[in-house]
């Protein structure tokens, strides 16, 4: 597995932590990187304008992805009109650990 650090580019936020993702070294393609990154970050792949290898290199094709090394830092750059999605507060049922049956108990 190749381990990469990925985050969404959000220059407005003070905290913008990376998450680590794992890619199968047999499937190092741009589309697989995009798919796994979007899944882990909860982003629609259609909203990604580009993937940037920090500090300033745009990934464009499978060969670019094949050259990545463990723990390299990547950012997903979203289309401008979709950045508001980052600030949407998840509903209670979308939050991890939410138990619908427990919330319906009455005392």
Number of domains in the chain: 1
User: Would you say 91 and 103 are in contact if contact means Cβ atoms under 8 Å apart?
Assistant: no
* pTM (predicted TM-score): 0.71
pLDDT, one tens digit per residue, over 58-99 is 999 999 999 999 999 999 999 865 445 544 444 444 445 545
Max avg pLDDT among 12-16, 20-24, 79-83, 100-104: 20-24
- Provide the 10 A C-beta neighbour count for residue 104: 7
Q: Does the residue 93 lie in any domain? A: no
> The domain spanning residue 39 has which CATH number?
3.10.20.10
Secondary structure class of 8 (helix, strand, coil): strand
E runs forming strands in the chain:
2-8, 19-23, 48-53, 57-59, 73-78
Whether 40 maps to a domain, the answer reads yes
Does a structural domain hold residue 87? no
Half-sphere exposure of 52 (CA within 13 A, CB side): 13
pLDDT at position 106 = 52
Task: Provide the domain limits for residue 60.
Answer: 2-78
Q: Is residue 86 part of a domain?
A: no
- Whether 12 is covered by a domain: the verdict is yes
């Amino acid at each position: 597995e190749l381990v990469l650090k990925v985050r969404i580019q959000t220059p407005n936020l003070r905290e913008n932590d990376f998450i680590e993702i794992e890619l199968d070294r047999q499937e190092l393609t741009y589309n697989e990187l995009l798919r796994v990154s979007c899944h882990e970050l909860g982003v629609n792949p259609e909203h990604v304008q580009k993937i940037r290898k920090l500090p300033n290199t745009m990934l464009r094709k499978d060969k670019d992805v094949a050259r990545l090394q463990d723990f390299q830092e990547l950012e997903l750059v979203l289309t401008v009109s979709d950045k508001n999605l980052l600030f949407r507060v998840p509903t209670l049922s979308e939050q991890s650990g939410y138990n619908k049956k427990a919330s319906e108990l009455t005392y």
